[in-house]
Amino acid sequence: MRVKFVFGLASLVLLVSISFIFLMKIKRSEIIDYNPTQDYHYTFENANSVKLELKNGKLILPSNLGKDKTAFLKVNIKSTLLGNFFYPHIEIKSQTQSVNDYFEYGGSGNRYLNISSLLLEETMEIELVNKYLEILEPTVELIYYTNSIHKDSKIMVISPHPDDAEISAFGLYSKFPNSFVLTLTAGENGPMHYDELFSDSLRHFLKKGQIRTINSISVPLQSGLNQNNIINLGYFDGTIKQMHDENPINVFSQTLGTDFIGTFRNFNISNLKDSLMGSSNWDSMIGNLEFVLKSYKPDIIVLPHPHMDNHSDHQFSTIGVIQALKKINYKNGELFFYANHNLGSEFFPFGNAGGSVSLPPNFIDGYHFNSVYSHPLTQEEQMEKVLALDAMNDLRPDTEWRFWDKLLKMSYENFKAYIKGQDNSYFRRGIRSNELFFVVPINDLYDEGHLTELLMGKSIDPL
């Protein structure tokens, strides 16, 4: 009898364990919108390329690489069984440092390792240590660009919402004290983040927009930017595409029911604030973008990719910037494109905080870019970025942490997200050993072929 009981109990435990593992695999596969066994596909028209042989996990790099390079290794990988439950990754090691490059659960096929930060020490040999995957072919391709940013460059970061500039480019703009951060909306929408404090929704979303607008000004100030180089245009969250589609009609805040543009714009402290114009419509936004661009004259404009980033506010922020540039016939400088909401997976970059950002999932032809720029972040700079994101109220935990029962619930929800591999926090995704940008010369906007490839079907209003 006892033997039967023990056997039955063991069978039950085994069945529950198998069911749990199967469920965990399903849940972890839900973080991507594509088949993870596909090859990533990119066309590097202006890159240098050389084939290297991987021997005993080690690669000898060309002697002429130097420090001013953004470099990737194209490798063919296959996840092991455990790679379906833990992030498959490769630890890339030099003599003095290492970085982890993570892939999606079950990822297999051609992938790109970002080795740019290791080149800062002009290393000649690197070692690849596989975790939950294997590299199928010993021949790998080194793809690299020569690029750097002049110390006197004027960098303008376009932030559709408060915190987009910090998530994508805090490490970059904080190194250039003459940078300009231009935020387009107040970011008043979204979940009732402060419902424990404000039960009235109108009051809640008004306060949320005020706090986030102030964040968009104060955090760049903390990084050392001049107050006159920080502006929030005060448009309403979630309405940029609507302004484009319904131009010239004024749009209303989706949560506040007002079209008064001063609701959040009045929090600006820049001496440019009194020259902002118009109301809550597309023509007004374009006019203000023209004014700021002509006032600052940037060398580099950092902005969302109009296709790789799947958020409509992000896409149409960039369409607005492109239209404003063309209206004032601005042709000098470069566009640095980022994607805070990756088209293939909202969970990209994959893996743990501190890992590298490499080329994101892509399976189609036609992306237009001239080069790729990987901006390295030291451990100290990553710590500064943590503090910058922490100063953005909307990225912090919900105020329900103040109540012990709700804190337990929040902890349980966070634990479930961890078990499922569904941690979507920007403190995981945004704190990395580098920031990555696709580079396009501004002059390419005047080539209809390049512009069509860049927008991937989205239209620019006739000028």
- Does residue 194 surpass a pLDDT of 70? yes
Beta bridge partners of 337: 303, 438
Task: Give bridge partners of residue 145 from the DSSP assignment.
Answer: 70
**Rounded to a whole number, what is the distance in angstroms from the first to the last CA of the chain?**
86
Domain coordinates of the chain in residue numbers? Answer: 48-146, 155-341+378-431
pLDDT tens figures, 160-183 = 999 999 999 999 999 998 999 999
pLDDT for res 327: 97
Mean pLDDT of the chain: 91
219 Cβ contact list (under 8 Å, min separation 6): 166, 388, 391, 392
Architecture of the structural domain at 155-341+378-431? 3-Layer(aba) Sandwich (3.40)
Structure confidence at residue 281 (pLDDT): 98
Predicted confidence at residue 269, as pLDDT, reads 97
How would CATH label the architecture of 48-146? Answer: Sandwich (2.60)
φ, ψ dihedrals at 259, nearest 5°: -115, 15
The answer, yes or no, to whether the previous bond of 36 is cis (omega within 30 of 0) is: no
Structure tokens at 176: 């250039």
Statement: residue 16 has pLDDT above 60: no
Q: Are 46 and 136 in contact (CB under 8 A)?
A: no
What is the dihedral sign for C-alpha 223, 224, 229, 235?
Answer: positive
Torsion over CA: 19, 25, 28, 29 (sign): negative
* Predicted TM-score of the model (pTM): 0.94
- Residue 408, CA distances (Å) to 198, 325, 401 in order: 21, 50, 8
The residues, ordered by sequence, that sit 6+ positions from 88 with a Cβ below 8 Å of its Cβ are: 77, 79, 80, 102, 103, 105, 106, 107, 131, 132, 133
Residue recorded with tokens 């709700």: 406
Contact 36, 29 (CB under 8 A): yes
